[in-house]
Amino acid sequence: MDAVIEPVRVSTEIPRHFYRDAPQDAHQRRRHQAVLSLLRELPPGRVLDYGFGWGDIAWAAAKTHPDLHAVDVEQRRVEFARQQYAPIPFDRCRPDGVDFADASFDIVLSIVVLPFVPDDEAYVAELRRVLRPGGHLIIATKTSQFLPRVWMRMSGQRDRDRNPAPGIRHHDAADAASLLERHGFSILRRKAFYDPPFEARRNLADIVNGAFEVAGEALGLVDTAPYPLFLARRED
């Protein structure tokens, strides 16, 4: 007998914009636009949303690619997504992998999951494992603000060497690209999405950094963006 999923109680820990019929916030709109614009370029196929968060991108993605399965490590997210975004199948996965056979999917989505996994090499290897040869990966990660990254490069550090909080690692676009290429992916497209400008205004550096991001967004630059995004293909 299937387990009964109790309704998720309204919680202040789940932002209202993740609910199915709620208006999106500005960050969410930008994230959806960037991800879905790449997904719409791909032909129909079996899709895995690996680390679906609260389920809102899976719901949007299923409108053009309905053969979609979504997994996440947190049961509370699974229960919320099942309640809000049925009939998409949402399931819990293991922290170290998913229980799907090799080459099970034509497309895998991984949207800002990479900074939170305990082993990024093992995670990308698992993304590759479940993709069929020639299948496509849409992956987004997070990096630090542009000006601190410039300073780190001048001092010989990489962005991933900086831990912004326990359990979180940043990857700049170059590090993320190298990680994908090491695991047999060819990068077809590089994009990015930005937070609304000048959200952080604690000091002059934040304002200057916001100006760089406004210019970078207008020019379509990836390197200045806090969220690099890649469309990649699994090669044999």
Distances (CA, A) of 86 to 4, 39, 89, 164: 14, 21, 7, 35
Question: What pTM was computed for the model?
Answer: 0.84
- Name residue 15's amino acid: P
Domain ranges of the chain: 19-234
Note the pLDDT of residue 148. Answer: 63
d(CA 111, CA 141): 7
Note the pLDDT of residue 7. Answer: 43
CATH, domain 19-234, list 1.10.3720.10, 3.40.50.150, 3.30.565.10, 1.10.150.80:
3.40.50.150
Note the pLDDT of residue 214. Answer: 72
| Residue-by-residue DSSP string for 142-165 | ----HHHHHHHHHTT--GGG--SB
In which residue ranges of the chain is pLDDT below 50?
Answer: 1-11, 159-161
Q: Which two tokens stand for residue 108?
A: 């895998």
What DSSP designation does 16 have?
G
Note the pLDDT of residue 5. Answer: 37
